[in-house]
Amino acid sequence: MSENSANLGLLAQRLCQIAGDGNVRTAEPLSEHTTFEIGGPAALFVTPGDAQEMRDCIALCRETEAPFFVLGAGSNLLVSDDGFDGVIIALSGMDGIAVDGCEMTCQAGVLLKDASEKACELGLSGLEFACGIPGTVGGACFMNAGAYGGCMADVLKEVTVITADGEIETLGVDVLDLGYRHSRIADEGMLVVSATFTLVPGDAAEIRAKMDDLTEQRTSKQPLELPSAGSTFKRPEGYFAGKLISDAGLKGFQLGGAAVSSKHAGFVVNVGGATAADVCALIAHVQDEVERQFGVRLEPEVRMLGF
Ligand SMILES: Cc1cc2nc3c(=O)[nH]c(=O)nc-3n(C[C@H](O)[C@H](O)[C@H](O)COP(=O)(O)OP(=O)(O)OC[C@H]3O[C@@H](n4cnc5c(N)ncnc54)[C@H](O)[C@@H]3O)c2cc1C
């Protein structure tokens, strides 16, 4: 796409008409939009303000056959050092929350932290598990994110998505096929516009205490002081990725600026100036070494973009 700067300019102009001049950038460094703090530039980076703008941006990309990618908080993402030669549709501007009794509807760009804080303030229980997951509601539905025994499938009522045909549809949780880090949303390339959670009335102080306890558990066990994308690998059936990596003697193992965390071996961390190439080489080394020693091939949980 960037080879043809006239096309790029035209696309940028049309995106500006949809989302407003201030919400379209060129050559935006993606290292500033990922928790790994890694990634080259996006040719175009647009921040739609609502569902209609999001839909129009997607329709334009599809019409012009421009590659596009919907970005949440970039907390489960490794972007290549060459960046992404297409349009990043970033949802940080879609951050509205509406509450009706025990139902909370969040736009896709709402951070899980903000959704769980809001629920706590209102004395609504169910989202405590999500308070320390640094992603957005959209990214969490895509991944069926979960922690400490809870996951999105437990609290979701329905999601409103843009389908692969460009239609806006609302789908009940029962048809989303949510499983461990799996959803029909991901399988069918649906894009989440908003999600509604069914919560239950609870005591705000108890909800707060539970969130504080989970935050404490997270802070003590996870390397939150260093950039990462959370658990690098999915949990293999019958094992824990972190334990396998640790037992393989790889805790603290470093390649370039990327290292297996010495605090939690399930996390690859950026110890300073890591490139995407460093992280990929480290992931491959961990996969090979764990497979050689234990016969288990670890599968990355982190999504890759621009490779
Ligand atoms: C320190 C740390 C701790 C973490 N702990 C946990 C944990 O306990 N449990 C857990 O499950 N995860 C955890 N994660 C991983 C991550 O936060 C989750 O996977 C989260 O759901 C990703 O959301 P995101 O908005 O950042 O998505 P992104 O990283 O921006 O994107 C990930 C994928 O989701 C897609 N996506 C994003 N938004 C949408 C949308 N609106 N519609 C359709 N697709 C979309 C993207 O296209 C991409 O394919 C952790 C990460 C970090 C850095």
Domain membership flag for residue 212: no
Write out pLDDT tens, residues 260-285.
Answer: 999 999 999 999 999 999 999 999 99
Task: List the residue whose alpha carbon is closest to atom 34 of ligand 1.
Answer: 139
CATH code of the domain covering residue 244: 3.90.78.10
Domain membership flag for residue 267: yes
Rounded distance between C-alpha atoms, residue 104 and residue 226, angstroms: 32
Q: Is 72 in the pocket of ligand 1 (CB under 6 A)?
A: yes
Same domain? 86 vs 103: no
Alpha helical stretches, state H, the chain: 5-19, 51-64, 112-121, 137-143, 152-155, 184-187, 204-221, 241-247, 276-294
DSSP state at residue 76: T
Domain final residue pick, 69, 90, 111: 90
Q: Is 28 helix (H, G, I), strand (E, B) or coil?
A: strand
Task: List the residue whose alpha carbon is closest to atom 47 of ligand 1.
Answer: 70
Domain membership flag for residue 215: no
Domain final residue pick, 144, 174, 207: 207
Domain count, the chain: 3
Does the pLDDT value for residue 2 go beyond 60?
A: no
Domain membership flag for residue 216: no
Q: Is 39 in the pocket of ligand 1 (CB under 6 A)?
A: no
Other beta carbons within 10 Å of 139: 26
* Adjacent-strand bridge partners of 84: 42
Domain final residue pick, 41, 57, 90: 90
Same domain? 244 vs 299: yes
Average pLDDT value for residue range 222-245: 97
CATH code of the domain covering residue 53: 3.30.43.10
Average pLDDT value for residue range 150-159: 97
- Alpha carbon of 197 to those of 110, 139, 208, 264, 292: distances in Å? 13, 15, 18, 31, 43
Residue 258 main-chain phi, psi, to 5 deg: -110, 140
Same domain? 198 vs 233: no
Exposed, middle or buried by CB within 10 Å (0-12, 13-18, 19+), for 104? buried
Q: What is the pLDDT of residue 181?
A: 85
Same domain? 174 vs 135: yes
Task: State yes or no: is 289 an active-site residue.
Answer: no
Same domain? 198 vs 272: no
Same domain? 131 vs 200: yes
Contact 198, 155 (CB under 8 A): yes
Write out pLDDT tens, residues 98-114.
Answer: 999 999 999 999 999 99
Tokens of 305: 């973009």
Contact 30, 276 (CB under 8 A): no
Single pTM value for the model: 0.96
Other beta carbons within 10 Å of 164: 11
Give me the domain span that covers residue 171: 97-207
Domain membership flag for residue 214: no
CATH code of the domain covering residue 120: 3.30.465.10
Task: State yes or no: is 181 an active-site residue.
Answer: yes
Please state, for a pLDDT cut of 90, what percent of the chain lies above it: 95
Task: State yes or no: is 32 an active-site residue.
Answer: no
Same domain? 151 vs 244: no
293 Cα to the center of ligand 1, angstroms? 30
Same domain? 120 vs 194: yes
